């Protein structure tokens, strides 16, 4: 029982650290490699901008976000104020959804939300408690830390294998177990 309790606390502490630092905070090399994908991010809808945040100024109270795809991608700027909800989600390099309203000549963000990745068909999300139970009961699983290697080296869940997203995109299934019936669990440290 004490071993399970210790594992639970280690798991909770490690997950807290992962969510604090996130997988979106990448090294310069990874950021440069991800730029084309980010530029193709999202399109503009009426009074909604979706895409990666490219800058935020607390002093000027502005947020810059890239919207559109490829050659048509544009950087848009919105202002925010004390009434803007979710300003904490406007972090440079993170994908966001910004709802805005026109006030005079300026666009003001009203609500900012993280842009979460949609899970492919057949993929389900599990909660921390479920992962803890699987690990505590010795379930046969393949645990993948999808954050950059530098983050993995700082801390990771017990038994996790480092397979950063760019490596997975490059190597595809060759980095995954041969046993196709094995449970695969991927985690990172943020809204991805």
Q: pLDDT band at 40, cuts 50/70/90?
A: very low
What is the DSSP annotation of 45-103?
Answer: BTTEEEEEEEEEETTTTEEEEEESSGGG-EEEEEE--TT-BTGGG--TTSEEEEEEEEE
**Average pLDDT over every residue of 157-173:** 87
Predicted local distance difference test score (pLDDT) of residue 35: 43
> In a 10 Å sphere around its CB, with 0-12 CB exposed, 13-18 middle and 19+ buried, how is residue 8 labelled?
middle
Predicted local distance difference test score (pLDDT) of residue 3: 59
Among 15-24, 40-49, 58-67, top mean pLDDT goes to 58-67
- Report whether pLDDT(122) > 80: no
CA distances from 35 to 40, 66, 166, 183 (A): 9, 11, 12, 31
Predicted local distance difference test score (pLDDT) of residue 5: 54
Instruction: Assess if CATH 3.40.50 describes domain 2-24+118-187.
Output: no
Q: pLDDT band at 29, cuts 50/70/90?
A: very low
> In a 10 Å sphere around its CB, with 0-12 CB exposed, 13-18 middle and 19+ buried, how is residue 177 labelled?
middle
The full length of the chain comes to 192
- Report whether pLDDT(26) > 50: no
Q: Which sign, positive or negative, has the C-alpha torsion 9, 15, 16, 18?
A: positive
**Average pLDDT over every residue of 21-35:** 44
Of 44 and 139, the one with more pLDDT: 139
What lies within 8 Å, CB to CB, of 55 at 6+ separation is: 62, 63, 64, 92
Q: Which residues pair with 85 in a beta bridge?
A: 111
**Average pLDDT over every residue of 85-109:** 92
**Average pLDDT over every residue of 147-167:** 88
Same fold, 2-24+118-187 and 43-114: no
CA distances from 149 to 2, 20, 44, 145, 152 (A): 31, 16, 33, 9, 5
Predicted local distance difference test score (pLDDT) of residue 167: 87
Predicted local distance difference test score (pLDDT) of residue 95: 87
Give the residue extent of every domain in the chain: 2-24+118-187, 43-114
Q: pLDDT band at 78, cuts 50/70/90?
A: very high
**What integer best gives the mean pLDDT of the chain?**
78
Fold of 43-114: OB fold (Dihydrolipoamide Acetyltransferase, E2P) (2.40.50)
**Could you give the strand order of the β-sheet that contains 161-162, starting from the edge strand earlier in sequence?**
161-162, 141-145, 183-187
How far apart CA 53 and CA 42 sit, in angstroms, is: 11
Of 2 and 67, the one with more pLDDT: 67
Closest CA to 151 of 30, 6, 4: 30
């Amino acid at each position: 029982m004490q071993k399970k309790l210790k594992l639970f606390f280690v798991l909770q502490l490690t997950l807290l650290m992962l969510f604090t630092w996130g997988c979106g905070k990448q090294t310069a090399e990874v950021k440069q490699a991800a730029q084309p994908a980010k530029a193709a991010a999202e399109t503009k809808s009426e009074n909604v901008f979706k895409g990666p945040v490219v800058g935020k100024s607390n002093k000027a109270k502005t947020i810059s976000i890239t919207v559109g795809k490829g050659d048509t991608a544009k950087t848009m700027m919105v202002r925010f104020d004390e009434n803007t909800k979710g300003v904490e989600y406007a972090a440079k390099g993170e994908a966001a959804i910004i709802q805005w309203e026109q006030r005079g000549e300026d666009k003001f963000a009203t609500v900012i939300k993280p842009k979460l990745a949609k899970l492919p068909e057949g993929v389900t999300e599990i909660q921390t408690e479920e992962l803890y139970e699987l690990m505590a009961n010795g379930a046969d699983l393949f645990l993948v830390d999808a954050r950059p290697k530098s983050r993995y080296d700082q801390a990771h869940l017990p038994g996790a294998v480092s397979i950063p997203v760019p490596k997975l995109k490059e190597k595809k299934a060759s980095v995954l177990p041969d046993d196709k019936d094995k449970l695969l669990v991927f985690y990172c440290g943020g809204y991805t």
